[in-house]
Chain A
Amino acid sequence: MRNAVHLPYRRRKSFLEIIRPYLFLIPIYALMVTFKYIPFFHAIEKSFFKWNGGNVNTFIGLQNYVDLFHSKQFGISLVNCLKFCLANIAISLTMPLLAAELLFAVRSAKAQYTIRTLLTFPMVVPGVVVILLWKWILSGDSGVLNAVLSSVGLDSLVTPWLGSSKTALFSVILVGFPWISGLQFLLYYGALQSIPRELFEASRIDGANTWQRFFRLDLPMLASQVKLIVTLAIINGVQVFETIFILTKGGPGTATLVPSLILYDSAFSFKKYGYSAAVGVVMFVLIMIVTVINQKLMKNTESGD
């Protein structure tokens, strides 16, 4: 809003001026509506049906939703999902930021560039490979993690990480440690680099130490990135699928069961496509509500961005 061009006097807008913004939006909407929104409406439509992908296609109204809300498994999956989301937010606010700050503090610009490029290399490793690697690290008897723990004398901490319902969710969250190679790091680092030098000079002259500088200068300048990253952390956290699918498939028991897993299973394993669509719709509404709440909260905390 604040960047809309303010002309010194009002005049009636011409037709072309009125439709100008919409013209810019035609490409994106054409693409999204054709290939995403129309399918989404079909999916919503199907959520009111009982469909097995073939010959059974009957209208059952809200039955799928009723079953969903009565399902114990779905309730458990929502709780797990919440835990996962909170962990995701916590992680995205800490580790990548820490890495960005540490890198930023390095003196030589060349070294910064080298290390930054090195840190983005692991992004080329496909998610599947990373997850399989962690499966192996977390394995009970021959796993790297347990081996390391016993070699430093922490035998009491040795557990079957993915095999016990007590530690499974924690282990799934652990995957990807130290979590610094990714979009969040790039955004934080980019933002740090675009803070004008004069401000750093000013804070140094004022006698601020690193911590004070971090809280008074860096963080406020990073506010919009933080907002964006938290929003993405929520959106991605609720939809987490691949990690859990490859590592535990929701087990042991229901310890790592999440809604997206239920969505996948009911469609492709149990052939209950209508039910699956209903799960999807509920997940969508959930994410939307949480994101809107998050946006409102963030708007209130930022006074002068």
Chain B
Amino acid sequence: MKKYLAILLAALLLLGSLAGCAGSAATASSSSAGTSASAAVPEASASASASSAAGSETAKDYSGITLVFAQDLGTDEDANAATEKVIQDYEDATGITIEFNNIADDYRTWLATQFAAGQGPDVYSGILYDMTTDYQAGYLYNFSDLYEQESAYDAGHAWKDTLPDYIRERMYLTDGSVPGYPTTSQVVRIYYNESMLKDAGCEVPTTWAEFMDVCQKLSDAGYTPFGFPNASYGDLSWLWFCNSISNQLTNAQLSAIDVSGNGYAELNEIVKAFEEGTLTFTSDQLKECYTLMKDFSKYWTSDYNGLDQKTAYDMFSRGEVAMVQGMSTALTSLTAAVNGAFEFGVMPVPTITKDTSEYAMGKSVVLGGQPDIIYGINKDCEKDQKKLEAAIDFVQYMSSPDVQLSFCEAINRLPLSTSTQLPDRLKGFVITEDALRVPYYTGISDEWRDYFHRGGQMYLEGSLSLDEYCDYLNESFTTVCEQLMADNGWSADNNYGLNS
């Protein structure tokens, strides 16, 4: 019996692999990530992106050039289809060969290893923090000149002008260089289950006090109010919520920290503020922030320190929690997972008002709202002028308003370009809150995120008291600052790099 089973399995496998190997040429090009140039003749195709590409580059011919493009696109079918189409259109229009590497998992590990051996991809994307770190490690090409010029796919003004102000400002590093061009912004919202809220007799809250009230009512009605993932700093909830609340409560100190007055606290301004005592984690305002969060935590699932974002989404879809924090790109998968079981909506982080805290500035601060999917170019491309030209053209194409629109339609990726209109279903993601001005917990360094998060876990579960937590934060931040100052050559003498 076992023998026959084994033979059957072997036969199946053989058939399957023969079919697979034989059909691999066909299947590989249609379903796998490695696309190759098909038609070199530019066609007037139906897609907006190709027509704008065809219109402006009749002289462009990159045949013979191969660009390696990497992105952590993930496994979503629609996202992959949309990206492959966009790339295919570009290949058709310019004759170039784009080798697209979709690294769904362990993207940063893969990138680090490739770069360490000197063979990083020619073009790749990432979040601001990662692209900044990569630029500082010497991997990336400086975009600052490009920003001043026109983009081939967005004519009529300097490339940088299509970006909203607060995004554009964030792209400049302290020395004036720019690591890449961003194409989206993750706007984070709180997704809420409408039926549960109605059942508990709640309205959608706008202030923090109302929010706590809603949570209490939900809890009384027998629901778990919030699925808060706090397993690791990669789940971002603790860092983001604290960012928003801290900013809402410390607005009065902003001018003291932001000495350059550009409305945003750069890294060296933060270091200076900490070293000089303007910023300290034992301040009353920040203590209040942590206290508010601790009060909030009683409405979370019992194992929040072990809960990750994906599981939180699942719990929301299953109707086990009434609310969950999420990004705009989660809209599609949540809709499919919920499958019509209930109606849900989105709301921003509630505003802290004066009746909750005397320090409240009365406006909410956006969660997320950072430049994202920033396309960067490998510095090694500078060695080959034609390749560099092609890479720049490709980046400008991928970040053009038309391509941003096509992604918006396909997978709810929020476009950045001010000239793109937002469809109705994404209206809830329009940023109405104040921008994040002091990235206390996310904009410093990964190690700081790690310290802050681990300490936060212990504080929330009661292993550390509030004072112990704040002291721990001051201690850890001192270590982090030392490192930053050593790495960047900042000190009190040169005013932490602010005078240049």
Q: Which A residues have a C-beta under 8 Å from some C-beta of B?
A: 52-56, 113-114, 117, 135-136, 138-143, 159-165, 168, 247-254, 265, 267-271, 273
Contacts and interface: CB of A to CB of B under 8 A. Distances in A.
**Max chain A C-beta neighbours (<10 A), residue from B234, B306, B446:** B306
Nearest to B460: A252
Nearest to B318: A142
* Nearest 10 CB-CB pairings of A with B: A140-B303, A162-B306, A54-B137, A160-B303, A163-B303, A55-B138, A163-B306, A249-B232, A252-B305, A163-B305
Contact of B301 (A135, A140, A249): A140
A163 B231 CA distance: 7
Interface string B91-119: 00000000000000000110010011000
B301 A141 contact: yes
B109 A162 contact: no
B315 A251 contact: no
Contacts of A250: 232, 454
Contacts of B445: 270
B461 A248 contact: no
Nearest to B379: A54
B455 A168 contact: no
11 contacts: A55-B137, A139-B306, A141-B315, A160-B301, A160-B303, A162-B303, A163-B302, A251-B306, A267-B112, A270-B446, A273-B116
B454 A53 contact: no
B139 A54 contact: yes
Contacts of B139: 54
B224 interface: yes
B344 interface: no
B463 interface: yes
A301 B134 CA distance: 55
A265 B450 contact: yes
A250 B305 CA distance: 11
Contact of B303 (A117, A141, A253, A254): A141
Contact of B450 (A138, A141, A269): A269
Given A53-B112, A163-B302, A142 B320 contact: yes
Interface residues of B, number: 41
A248 B231 contact: yes
A53 to B, nearest CB: 5
A248 B453 CA distance: 12
B188 to A, nearest CB: 21
B305 A162 contact: yes
Contacts of B446: 269-270
Given A249-B232, A271-B137, A165 B109 contact: no
Contacts of B320: 141-142
A51 B62 CA distance: 37
B24 interface: no
Contacts of A168: 305-306
Given A113-B2, A248-B306, A252-B457, 8 more contacts: A54-B137, A136-B311, A140-B304, A162-B305, A249-B232, A249-B234, A250-B454, A252-B454
Interface in B443-462: 445-447, 450, 453-455, 457-458, 461
B133 interface: yes
B458 A52 contact: no
Given A142-B320, A253-B457, A253-B458, A54 B115 contact: yes
Interface string B300-319: 01111111100100010010
Contacts of A270: 445-447, 450
Interface of B: 2, 108-109, 112, 115-116, 133-134, 136-139, 224, 230-232, 234, 301-308, 311, 315, 318, 320, 445-447, 450, 453-455, 457-458, 461, 463, 487
Nearest to A245: B232
Contacts of A114: 2
B254 to A, nearest CB: 29
B304 to A, nearest CB: 6
Contact of A268 (B108, B453, B461): B108
A136 B318 CA distance: 14
A143 B155 CA distance: 55
B231 A53 contact: no
A56 B137 contact: yes
A134 B286 CA distance: 37
A188 B315 CA distance: 42
Contact of B305 (A54, A56, A160, A268): A160
A163 B137 contact: no
A118 to B, nearest CB: 11
A251 B458 CA distance: 9
A251 B231 contact: yes
A247 B137 contact: no
Given A53-B115, A249-B232, A251-B231, A160 B306 contact: yes
Nearest to A266: B447
Given A117-B2, A249-B232, A269-B446, A164 B454 contact: no
A54 B130 CA distance: 14
A259 B232 CA distance: 17
B306 A53 contact: no
Nearest to A272: B447
B225 to A, nearest CB: 12
A143 B457 CA distance: 21
A249 B231 contact: yes
A135 B311 contact: yes
Contact of A251 (B112, B133, B318, B457): B457
A53 B130 CA distance: 13
Most buried by B among A54, A55, A162, A267: A54
B116 A165 contact: no
A113 B108 CA distance: 45
Contacts of A251: 231-232, 305-306, 453-454, 457
A253 B463 contact: yes
A113 B5 CA distance: 15
Contacts of B447: 269-270
A80 to B, nearest CB: 13
Contacts of A163: 230-231, 302-307, 461
B283 to A, nearest CB: 23
A138 B224 contact: no
Contacts of A160: 301-306
Contacts of B230: 163, 252
Contacts of A247: 306
B307 A253 contact: no
Nearest to A143: B303
A164 B457 CA distance: 9
Contacts of A138: 306
Contact of B307 (A140, A254, A268): A140
Nearest to A268: B109
Contacts of A56: 137, 487
A114 B455 CA distance: 51
A55 B133 CA distance: 11
B455 A253 contact: yes
A201 to B, nearest CB: 29
B204 to A, nearest CB: 24
Nearest to A249: B232
A164 B231 CA distance: 10
Most buried by A among B234, B303, B308: B303
